[in-house]
Amino acid sequence: MERICTHCRAVLAPETQADWCPACGGALIERPTLPGPTQPPAEIDHRGIVLPRRHALGGIITPQ
C-alpha cells in the first residue's frame, strides 16, 4: 500500500510519518501499489515525497 494525496496526487515515501500532505496540506489516502517493471530506487525529496522517475534519456516521466 502506498499513501497518496487526494488533492495534488503526491506519493509519499513509506517511511514518511504524516497525517496531511507535506506539499499542499491535502488529505492522504492509501491505495494498492501499482504493478510495474522493476526500476531503480525512487528519489525522495526533503518533505518525504517520491519524485517522478527519470527516463533513460534524461527526461522526467509524468502521467498524462
Q: To the nearest 5 percent, what fractions of the chain are helix, strand and coil?
A: 0, 25, 75
More confident residue, 60 or 5: 5
Per-residue pLDDT band at 60 (split at 50, 70, 90): low
The reported pLDDT for the residue numbered 43 is 84
Strand ranges inside 13-64, DSSP E: 28-31
Per-residue pLDDT band at 56 (split at 50, 70, 90): low
Handedness of CA 22, 26, 29, 32 (dihedral sign): negative
Residue 46 CA from chain centroid, whole number: 13
If you compute the radius of gyration of the chain from its CA atoms, what whole number of angstroms results?
12
Residue 36 CA to residue 16 CA, distance in Å, equals 22
Task: State yes or no: pLDDT of 57 exceeds 70.
Answer: no
Spans of all domains in the chain: 1-64
Q: What is the pLDDT of residues 4-37, one digit of tens each?
A: 999 998 889 888 888 999 999 999 999 997 776 6
